[in-house]
Structure 1
Amino acid sequence: MNQKAQLRQPNLFYEILKGLFSNKFIAFLLVLIFTSSLALVQITHFTRQQLIQQDKLLQQRDELDLEWRYLLVEEEFYSQHARIEEVATTQLQMKRPTSKDEQVVVLP
């Protein structure tokens, strides 16, 4: 008896598909909607990946900029005249020449 009841009831999924695909224009629009929704998901995913990459690159740029500033400060520190003179006198035991140490070379 249960089988007879199933045979008399229409299959709802089959009836919906049959109604949708009976008109080719509606079927085309349905396929177009599915295609555009999948494209939208793909583009959104790609955009998010690009934003994440951009954030990483901006962070790397900031780190490099900070390192560059530290290097500029260090360069200025090492290029100061007083620092150079101090290193020359203490580490290299250099001194300013006196007039006795000077020699004049005359070129013909």
Structure 2
Amino acid sequence: MMGNERHGLIGVIGSDLLRHAKIPVILLVAVLVSAVLVVTTTHETRRLTAQREQLVLERDALDIEWRNLILEENALGDHSRVERIATEKLKMQHVDPAQENIVVQQ
């Protein structure tokens, strides 16, 4: 007799869905998986975009520092500046090559 059999509600619903509604269940699972993948992909895209922005800012800062270092190198390597420091601080004098031979020979 069927009246004495006890079936759980979830078991009855599950077996009924599998027996009569396979395509809708498959579509429901596909939609849920798709939704989770969309959320995961969106999150990863936003994280990578923020990381890229941070790297672009770092690159710009390093670019500015590089330009400043080149300007500083050019300023420190300027011949007139080197000559001025040599004459003022080190008390060096510019020697004429013609006079140098006379001084050395004496």
Deviations 1:4-53 (A, max 9, x none): xxxxxxx8xx6xx5575541111111100000000000000000001001
Question: In the comparison of the two structures, how many residue pairs are matched?
Answer: 90
TM normalised by structure 1 equals 0.71
For 1:5, the equivalent position in structure 2 comes to none
From the superposition, tell whether residues 20 and 92 of structure 1 become closer, same or farther in structure 2 (CA, over 3 Å): farther
Are 2:53 and 1:48 equivalent residues in the alignment?
no
TM-align CA RMSD: 2.3
Aligned equivalent of 1:25, options 19, 23, 30: 23
TM-score by length of 2: 0.72
Gaps of 5+ in 2: 1-8
Instruction: Return the alpha-carbon distance in structure 1 between the equivalents of residues 101 and 50 of structure 2.
Output: 68
- Structure showing the higher helix proportion among its residues: 2
CA distance in 1, matches of 2:64, 2:95: 42
2:4 alignment partner in structure 1: none
Following the alignment from structure 2 to structure 1, what is the Cα–Cα distance between the partners of residues 17 and 86?
Answer: 92
Structure 1: which 5+ runs fail to align? 1-10
Which deviations, in whole Å up to 9, do the C-alpha atoms of 1:43-69 show, x marking residues without a partner?
A: 000000010011001100110111111
